[in-house]
Amino acid sequence: MILKEKENRVVIMPPQLHQSPLPILNPLLRSSPPSSPKHQRESKITMPKFAVRKLVPLLIFILSSLYVLRLLRISLKSSSSTSRSLSSTTFRSSFSQRISANASQSALTEKELKLLSDTVTSRSPCNVLVFGVATQYLTLSSINTRGITVFLEDEHSKTKAEVNPNTTRIYSLKNHRMEVKNAYKLLRHARANPACAPNMNSLHQGSSECKLRLKDLPQEVHDTRWDVIVVDGPRGDDLEAPGRMGSIYTAAVLARKGSSNSTTDVFVHDVQRTVEKWLSWEFLCQENQVSAKGNLWKFRIKGRSNASRFCSPETGLIRY
C-alpha cells in the first residue's frame, strides 16, 4: 500500500515540482533564485578580477604622486640648505645664486670693445678714467694719444704694466676692500646717509662719512674733469672678493662734476651680475642709459655738482 501510494504521489505530482528537485533536497536555497553550482563558481571568480582592474589605475596614481612628492622634498631640502650655507639674509642669498651662475670676470667682446672705442675716438682728445687694468683697456691710450688716460687698480701685480708716462698713468688703490657680500648693507647706508649725496665733497678724504667713498683716490682724480669713465674693477666675482660698489658710486659722483653743459660717458662692464646691475641703476640711473652691447652698459651723465640725489624719484629707487 505504501509503495502504491508513493507511486500515486509521483504520478499525480505537478510537472513544475518534478523538474526542480533541489528545493526539496536543500530547503536553504528556497529564498534565493535558482542557480546551478557552475554559475555560482563562475561569479566568485570573475568579481575579484573586475575589482583588481579598477584598483590598478588608482595604485599607479598613488605611487606616481608619492614619487613626485619625494622629488619635490629632495629639491626643496637641497635649495634651502644651499641658501642657509651661503648667507644669513635674503639679499645675500640672491647674490650668491646669481654670482655663482655668472662668476667669471669676462673680457670685452668685439661689439663691447667697439662701443667703447668709438666713444673715446669721438671725444678724443679727452680725459679717460678706468677702474681696472686689462690689455684691452690699455689700447685706449693709443686711441686717446693727445688726451690723458688714468687707470685705478687694486691688484698690485697689474700696476706694473708698461705705459707712456706722458699720457697714461696707473695708480694702485690700497684700501679698495668692499666685499661683494656687504653690497646690500652699503647700499642701505648710502640711501640713509646724507654724506653719500652726489657731490664732490663726498669723495675728499676726511670730509665724508660715506662708506662707499674710496679713501685713497689720487689727487689727480679729484682735480680732473673726466669725459669717459669705465668701471671694470675690482673683479667682484665672488662673495668674499672686492666688489665694484665703490667704483660705481665714485664714477657717478665724478660724472656729475661741472656745469650742466658738460657730460660724461660712464661704462659699466659685467652688468649680468647683480651688484653691477643694481648699483648702476641706483647711482647712474636708467634714465641716463643711452646704449648697451652685450654685458656693457653706457650712461651719459650731465654735470650737476650740487645735486642732492642721483636719480629722479620715479626711477631712482630699486625695491627689494
In one-letter notation, the amino acid at residue 283 is F
Between these two residues, 313 and 26, which has the higher pLDDT value?
313
Distances (CA, A) of 218 to 117, 160, 224: 25, 17, 11
Per-residue pLDDT band for 92 (boundaries 50, 70, 90) equals low
Cα–Cα distance, 32 to 35 (Å, whole number): 8
Per-residue pLDDT band for 131 (boundaries 50, 70, 90) equals very high
pLDDT beyond 70 at 33:
no
* Span 42-85, pLDDT tens digits: 445 455 555 666 677 778 888 888 888 887 777 776 555 444 44
Which pairs from 171-174 meet CB under 8 Å and 24+ separation?
A: 171/218, 171/220, 171/221, 173/214, 173/216, 173/217, 174/216
Q: Report which secondary-structure segment, H or E, holds 280.
A: helix 274-283
* Span 148-185, pLDDT tens digits: 999 999 888 787 777 777 789 999 987 567 999 999 99
Per-residue pLDDT band for 284 (boundaries 50, 70, 90) equals very high
Mean pLDDT of the region 93-103: 50
Place of cell 687698480: 153
Per-residue pLDDT band for 104 (boundaries 50, 70, 90) equals low
CA dihedral 68, 73, 79, 85 (to 10 degrees): -160
Angle at the Cα of 259 from the Cα atoms of 258 and 264, rounded to 5 degrees: 60
Cα–Cα distance, 93 to 181 (Å, whole number): 9
pLDDT beyond 80 at 192:
yes
pLDDT, residue 271, reads 97
**Backbone φ, ψ for residue 131 (5° rounding):** -90, 105
* Mean pLDDT computed over every residue of the chain: 78
Q: Go through the chain and tell me how many residues it has.
A: 320
pLDDT, residue 307, reads 81
pLDDT beyond 50 at 3:
no
Cα–Cα distance, 230 to 123 (Å, whole number): 14
* 3-class SS of residue 52: helix
Cα–Cα distance, 133 to 173 (Å, whole number): 12
